[in-house]
Amino acid sequence: MAEINTPDLAISEEQLIKSGWDLNEQSLAIPEIAENQEAIEASGRDLIEHFNISPEFFDDKGRSLIFTSIASRWSKLEDNGGDDERVFLTSSLAILANKFSPDFSTAVEQISESENDILSQQTQIEVYDSFTDAELTKELSDRIANGLLDGVKARLGITDTNEDLYEVRVLNVGDEHGAFGLAVPKPETTIDKYGNEIFPNSYFEDLNARGEWIKGLEKRTAEFREKLGGNKNDPTAPAWVTRVGDKTLLCMPMPLAEKILHPDATEGSSYWSDDDRGRDFSILEHEYTHTQGGVNLERGTTFGIGLEELRAEHFSGDNQGYQDIKGFYNDLNIISGTHVAELFDNREKGGTAPELYTDIASIVGIDMLLEVIETAPTVYNNQKTGSHFKDILDYLGGFDGVTSKILEKAIDAGDKQTIEDRLEKKVKKMLEITENEPDFVLNYRKNIGLNTITDLMQLKATEILDKKAA
């Protein structure tokens, strides 16, 4: 990776204004920026000039705020040890500004494209069209039009005038769960003279038909993955949102659509409960939330995807996965006293990236904003390739790497006792819920990469339990 040489204030005030970067506007909301405005502006000038960043880059105020975080940290490179920090910031800027800097390749390696980016938009639409089940798509669309999603729409503040356009697509493919939950109901049986149950022939015919249906799903699923440029053995999500050109598609594999539209199809399954049916429905609400607004920059997976999944979970009942990112923000709550999820409330669609990034910068500081916004669910990190992504992930050090820095900064600011009070309150609630058997919860948190606060919780739990036993 080529090294960046930092010239002295190479851009004039007039050129800085033309660049589109409005630092003064942001400094009104974040006092920390105003306090270091001169140094941040100097670093920003250097970065804009060195990478020939176009003014269009700053049209997105969320992206502009992340740039400010990078510029702030760049101004302190000598104080922060230099090389590792420089590589991290350069890689972050390479991904953030790659589309807006024609000269980027002269200083950093090219960003690797995802497989789907290689396919033309027309090809992607043709693939989705060819695997769309028209009948189930219409049925699900009609149900939504008749109020199926009115609950989540109300929580998001969606009206007829502000709803973002999207298309429902039920695809005739399966997902990683297959047809789990869909079963052939057992009929009434007769008993032979030996005490064995005798099933009618129609039952076995239904079982065979189900087996053939599943084989068809599996075959089409493999074809679908391959035609989108993936591996036929890759897992398929229970549902997802994809954007192709000007289209936003809410995609759902056939088994989940059947379970949501026809709950009686799960009644023959002895292991599919009402809780399972509720989680099925929350998947639809979760994905619908992704079609409305969004706080991840350019719908990507590097900046804001963790916050976006937190938003989708918040408005769909917190019934799905992403326990790691939800745990990360819970730990941030213990440190700061503010739960980011609460910032979604009373804002249309949960708020915008600039609004929420500003809130987070006010909580953790403008420098740590970059690391918080780059913290993503593990499932996304596992899909990232390319040297820039590796540089970022190595530097972040997982959830613990980011959490530890925020915790240390808060303690240095004199918040140690307040944090301990919040931690004790959290642990007492955990002990109450687990009936003083917290190991399962603590071990689970550690298994998903949340060690820093979990270790403190464990110490506090031991202290409280020892006092009770004394």
| Euclidean distance between CA atoms 169 and 141, whole angstroms | 9
Q: State yes or no: pLDDT of 5 exceeds 70.
A: no
Per-residue pLDDT band at 104 (split at 50, 70, 90)? low
Q: Two tokens at 226? A: 């391959």
Beta carbons of 434 and 467 less than 8 angstroms apart? no
In angstroms, the CA 333 to CA 419 distance is: 9
Statement: residue 172 has pLDDT above 90: yes
Span 422-439, average pLDDT: 95
pLDDT band at 27 (very low <50, low <70, confident <90, very high): low
User: What are 197's strand-pairing partners?
Assistant: 191
Does the pTM of the predicted model rise above 0.85? yes
Q: Among 67-71, 127-131, 328-332, 386-390, which stretch is predicted with the lowest mean pLDDT? A: 386-390
Lowest pLDDT segment from 25-39, 96-110, 137-151, 341-355: 96-110
In this prediction, residue 103 carries a pLDDT of 65
Domain ranges of the chain: 13-106, 117-291, 301-469
| pLDDT (mean) for 41-63 | 91
Which pLDDT belongs to residue 134? Answer: 96
Angle of CA points 180, 186, 191, to nearest 5°: 145
At residue 186 the predicted structure's pLDDT band, cuts being 50, 70 and 90, is confident
Q: Tokens in use for 313? A: 């979970």
**pLDDT interval class at 68 (50, 70, 90):** very high
The mean pLDDT of 232-255, rounded to a whole number, is 89
| pLDDT at residue 189, rounded to an integer | 73
Banded model confidence at residue 22, pLDDT cuts 50, 70, 90: confident
Q: Which of the pair, 228 or 110, is modelled with greater confidence?
A: 228
The whole-number average pLDDT for the span 283-299 is 95
Report d(CA 321, CA 310) in Å as an integer. Answer: 10
* The pLDDT value given to residue 116: 44
Residue closest to 97 by CA, chosen among 137, 135, 55, 125: 55
Q: Can you tell me the mean pLDDT for 233-241? A: 84
The H or E element spanning position 361 is helix 353-364
pLDDT the model gives residue 120? 86
More confident residue, 204 or 453: 453
- Decide which of 23 and 41 is more confident: 41
Q: CA-based angle 232:234:237, to the nearest 5?
A: 120
Let me know the angle formed at the C-alpha of 290 by 288 and 292, rounded to the nearest 5 degrees: 80
Q: For 167, which DSSP code?
A: E
Token couple for 276: 């399972």
Q: Which pLDDT value is given to residue 411? A: 97
Pick from 18, 106, 96: which is nearest to 55 by CA?
Answer: 18
Tens digit of each residue's pLDDT (9 = 90 or more) over 244-271:
888 999 999 999 999 999 887 777 676 7
Q: What pLDDT sits at residue 307? A: 98
Lowest-confidence region among 77-86, 177-186, 233-242, 405-414: 177-186
pLDDT band at 114 (very low <50, low <70, confident <90, very high): very low
Nearest to 266 by CA among 251, 286, 280, 283: 280
On whether the CB atoms of residues 98 and 76 are closer than 8 A, the answer is: no
Smallest CA-to-CA distance from 379 within 238, 276, 179 is with 238
Band the pLDDT of 422: cuts 50, 70, 90.
very high
Q: How confident is the model at residue 109 (pLDDT cuts 50, 70, 90)?
A: very low
Is residue 133 scored above 60 in pLDDT?
A: yes
pLDDT band per the 50, 70, 90 thresholds, residue 51 = confident
H helices present in 365-397, as ranges:
366-374, 378-381, 387-396
How does residue 19 score in pLDDT terms, banded at 50, 70 and 90?
A: low
Q: Which among 431, 413, 392, 433 has a CA at the least distance from the CA of 335?
A: 413
